[in-house]
Amino acid sequence: MVDETDRRYAATLAKGLQVLRAFSQKDPSLGNREIARRTGLHSSTVSRLTYTLAKHGFLVQLQPSEAFRLGPAAIALGYTARESFSFLSLADPLMQALADDVSALVAVGVQDGDAVMLARVWRPVGRAAIWLQEGHRLPLDRSAAGRAIMALAPQGPDDSPQTNADRQALLTRGCVDSIGSWNEDVNACAVPFVPDQTGLPFAFLCGAMKSEMDATRLSEQVGPKLITKVNALKALLGLAH
């Protein structure tokens, strides 16, 4: 929870970041009115922020319209951030092989507030997979990836029964299963992953439509294969115990 009364807190910067976070992969562009609606900021504040962000290259104004899209500075920042996670290059061949093996989408997400943002996605070659893309945000408390990350945290008095059950699942099985808990038509499993000493929590997930991955297949086949791949990545990184 952000304490906006903290004297170290830069409220104007926070509002600018809200504007940037209003954009999603589905948006080719956004106007000030839509940005204001999504952020809850006053329209005059949004106008000043988008003007300033455009001046610094984080937004580009489309002509002759007044809509904006993310600019080169934002794109460069995103690529720099993703490439700073060096484990992703090692994960690529492992997770692509898994996606091909189980004919399903595999992804890795990182906690982003009350959501999990997908940092990289692997799809089976030549076969269809569910629609999730890089940058997609999943609910922290209902997605397999989010629940796996929550279960990784130390036990607290306010933990929900679901989090306690997921924590036990990690201890006994090594992964968390989601049977339609985020989307009633999608089943998924997830394994939490902490790549370095920063402690930033990630989770690898594998998911598909229920018709292609029922609870039995998820539990007996897909989950164990995902665990094996994550353990192989840990070994490559020297994280295996």
Q: Which of 78, 96, 118 is the last residue of a domain?
A: 78
pTM reported for the whole predicted model: 0.76
Does residue 139 surpass a pLDDT of 90?
yes
Indicate if the pLDDT at residue 108 is higher than 60. yes
Phi, psi of 189 (to 5 degrees): -135, 160
Provide the pLDDT confidence category of residue 84 given band limits of 50, 70 and 90.
low
Report d(CA 71, CA 52) in Å as an integer: 12
CATH number at residue 54: 1.10.10.10
Tens-place pLDDT, residues 25-81: 777 799 999 999 999 999 999 999 999 999 999 999 988 888 998 888 887 777 676
Q: 217 and 128: one domain? A: yes
Write the pLDDT tens digit of every residue in 143-180. Answer: 999 999 999 988 889 899 999 999 999 999 999 999 99
Residues 69 and 95 in one domain: no
**Same domain assignment for residues 212 and 113:** yes
Q: Do you find a cis peptide bond into 64, omega within 30 degrees of 0?
A: yes
In 3-state terms, what secondary structure has residue 141? coil
| b/e code 51-75 from CB counts within 10 Å (16+ = b) | eebeeeebbbeeeeeebbebbeebe
Residues 122 and 218 in one domain: yes
DSSP state of 186: E
Tell whether 38 and 157 lie within a shared domain. no
Answer yes or no: is 241 within a domain.
no
Residue 192 has pLDDT above 70, yes or no: yes
pLDDT in the model for residue 239? 84
pLDDT over threshold 80, residue 127: yes
| One domain, residues 72 and 89 | no
Tell me how crowded residue 90 is: count the other CB atoms within 10 A of its CB: 14
Distance between CA atoms of 107 and 203, rounded to whole angstroms? 8
What CATH number is attached to the domain comprising 97?
3.30.450.40
Enumerate residues 6+ apart whose C-beta is below 8 A from 98. 106, 122, 206, 225, 226, 229
Q: With pLDDT > 70 as the criterion, what percentage of the chain qualifies?
A: 94
- What range defines the domain where residue 32 resides? 11-78
pLDDT at 221: 96
Return contacts of 77-82, CB within 8 angstroms, 24+ apart. 82/119, 82/120
User: What are the C-alpha distances in Å from 214 to residues 106, 130, 176, 177, 218?
Assistant: 16, 15, 15, 11, 6
